[in-house]
Chain A
Amino acid sequence: MQPILKLQHIDKSFPSVKALDDASLNVYSGKVMALVGENGAGKSTMMKVLTGIYQPDAGVIEYQGRAVAFRGPKDSQDQGISIIHQELNLIQELSIAENIFLGREPTRYGKIQWQQLYADVDKLLQRLNIKYNPRTRLGNLSIGEQQMVEIAKALSFQSKVIIMDEPTDALTDTETDSLFRVIQQLREQGHGIVYISHRLKEIFRICDDVTIFRDGKFIEQTAVANLTEDLIIEKMVGRSLNDQFPKVNIELGEECLQVNNLSGNGVDDVSFSLRSGEILGFSGLMGAGRTELMKLIYGDQPIHSGEVLLSAQTLDLRSPKDALTAGIAYVSEDRKADGLVLSMTVKENMSLSSLAEFCTPYGRIEHLQEKQAVQKFIDLFRIKTPGQNQIIQNLSGGNQQKVAIAKGVMKQPKVLILDEPTRGVDVGARQEIYQLINQFRRDGMAIILVSSDMPEILGMSDRIVVMCTGKVSAEFSSEQASQELLMAAAVGKETEEQT
């Protein structure tokens, strides 16, 4: 059987990383192809190449037997390839019908032909076997129902290929069931479907074939029937740990941080403890609630129940200021969004949290003191910058990250939370960041390392907590842990040994 859509030997590089390296993907009419891989395995990049958002550096895209090059999402959509993103691209204030035919409304002399519009939409919804009134305001629908509207919209473009990116992430079980019914129908109607998901169970329920990516490379394409969950996990992570992680073993100190039954937005009854000098890794998939948990501990999100104790003292956390004062520092996972003030200089960013220490009681900044402290950290962290007054935006990702970490460390915290500290950081700077982290633990700091990079978390941590859907799903010592075990716990696969 010939695939309707064929991507072959696709290469795509970005300034510091090769996102796709000889990657391939086939989509067959009337079949559901699963695409799996770790975070950063290149799935999203592949979809962006496929829909024309990125142009590949090398490789061929063949669609309906002809080589094609899509100029952008609109182009690929017009030719029958639709993508349904995790975040839906719909307008809450418009009706279902208006959303589906947005910009393509049937008109006569410029007036919208409402009767025809509603009839067309009715027909589309019937094909999906769903009964919504096309006049309903989209905002009144649940997320699952909105997703159906996205699918109907894809059908309205006569789509031959429909790509679904983590479609069940926000759905309830019943909504997932009805989504699967619709996928089943689409398959019978001869559509080719790409199903991207971290949830392996779903893949066995709904998909015919699986394509596995790892580190931007194509690993395998095979029928689902040939695989088991364990085999998929092994192929997803199948990488050997090399010695890029300079692990040091030190005597752990007293218990420092204790978190008891903490619940809040996206976090459900989490408990763990941490000793000074210890590195505690937090593993899990995107959306597992790790960052949300850290923001609870950092006082940035309201705690619904549970408590955080630091040196056996219960903390009253109402804002990040409270956490910082108590001795908890947090380095954000997203430098651009909430880690750094990009319009400010290296110096101003680094001293932002601890500015009070360089000020007179009346709030005047002692510029010389500030400058000396910042210089100390620039030297210690080996930050490459033309000067302290350089706007931070002009630094490389690795150096920006070092400044962000320095901002936290300058406050001399007892607990340092590093959320994805090496994301978007090149290999050299990574190494230096690992060495810095080891230096901090020698100084007695307790460190929480949140990371989606499994070799990193296995290589650096003393203990590893795995989270799944807001809960702790497993905890391992560094000796016990393996990539397979972490991945199994992250996708919520129950194994008897852990419980």
Chain B
Amino acid sequence: MSSNSVTTKSATHNQSTEIKLFSKAWLFQEKSLIALLLLIAVVSFISPNFFSVDNMLNTLRQTSVNAIIAVGMTMVIITAGIDLSVGAVLALSGAFAASLIAQEVNVVLAVIITLFSGLVLGAMSGIIVAQGKVQPFIATLVTMTALRGVTMVFTDGRPISTGYTENADMFSWLGTGYMLGVPVPIWIMLSIFAIGWYLLNHTRTGRHIYALGGNEDATRLSGINVNRIKIIVYSLCGLTAAIASIIITARLSSAQPTAGLGYELDAIAAVVLGGTSLMGGRGRIMGTLIGALIIGFLNNALNLLDVSSYYQMLAKASVILLAVIVDNRNK
């Protein structure tokens, strides 16, 4: 009886959002952040090159593409969905961006069209999931396959160069430029996270996203149009993939038809490492940032330590497995 009441009490404590700093529950909740700081501390100790401004900014810039996609992925996963099509959306919208720039379309207009295309491509998955009542895994597997095909047709299987015009130079600033000494992709990443955080925590749509993932029937019976929410999250996920495609295309000054292969899995890994449940209903956008940074810094550290890329994959797999096991243990 007494042990019973103790467990209830600690469970209550765990799940309440008002958690004392540095308490046991707080440490558990912030375990991904702690893991990230630990990782940075350990690697700084081993490799002196690691903890330099240059290396930090470089790693953050490299992480930005995955981190931005992971913002959209977080929203999809909170609704208990999944989006496998982000890599394919990235490839196709990147191809659109490159060809628009090559045809000397104004950079701002080209960017807007590219973002819009990402939004529409994502919405396609959303409509299949919502209206077609197809499981998200299958629905986005279909759009992924279809969009990979469309990309090959559109690019003819060859890279599309943005060309050597002034327009192309302006465009490439989005991937290679600096603002206040910080690479532009990092600024973009930070703004996307700020917007994502605001959307999820301070808007009605955000609240509905959590509700949908927590209990779809209850959400529908509460008078919420659940199909609309589903279409919104997949559209936003497509949008984040398009933003990532602009950074990649701008950085390389060309669009590769095979760009973004496997990016969906990296994004999902970042979301899971950030503590978002694949069952839906729970998750924090800042957890995803930390998850993406863990993957980024881990790769960077292993590079600096001269570990071959084959072993890097093993290391990444172990970290994800460990994170999920720890998460389940404490549930």
Contact = CB atoms under 8 A, between A and B. Distances in A.
Contact of A339 (B16, B218, B224): B218
Given A298-B221, A325-B223, A338-B221, A352 B16 contact: no
B217 A344 contact: no
B44 to A, nearest CB: 37
Interface stretch (A177-185, A224-232, A358-366, A428-436): A358-366
Interface string B104-122: 0000000000000000000
B329 interface: no
A203 B18 CA distance: 57
B221 A332 contact: yes
Given A339-B218, A353-B223, 17 more contacts: A300-B221, A319-B223, A319-B225, A320-B220, A321-B223, A341-B210, A342-B215, A343-B210, A344-B211, A348-B211, A356-B204, A359-B203, A389-B17, A394-B11, A394-B12, A394-B15, A411-B223
Interface in B204-258: 204-205, 207-208, 210-211, 213-215, 217-225
Given A352-B219, A352-B224, A389-B17, A343 B281 contact: yes
B211 A365 contact: no
A217 interface: no
B202 interface: yes
Contact of A363 (B8, B204, B223): B204
B218 A338 contact: yes
B222 to A, nearest CB: 4
A375 interface: no
Nearest to A329: B223
A19 to B, nearest CB: 19
B316 interface: no
B31 interface: no
B214 A344 contact: yes
B204 A343 contact: no
Interface residues of A, number: 38
Interface in A367-419: 367, 386-387, 389-391, 393-394, 407, 411
B222 A352 contact: yes
A338 B223 contact: no
Interface of A: 298, 300, 319-321, 323-325, 330, 332, 337-345, 348, 352-353, 355-356, 359, 363-365, 367, 386-387, 389-391, 393-394, 407, 411
A391 B214 CA distance: 12
A363 B225 contact: no
Given A325-B223, A332-B218, A341 B18 contact: no
A359 B221 contact: no
User: Which 5 residue pairs are nearest across A and B when measured between Cβ atoms?
Assistant: A338-B217, A341-B214, A324-B223, A343-B281, A343-B214
A381 B35 CA distance: 43
Nearest to A407: B222
A345 B18 CA distance: 12
Interface in B278-329: 281-282
Contacts of A356: 204
A98 B12 CA distance: 47
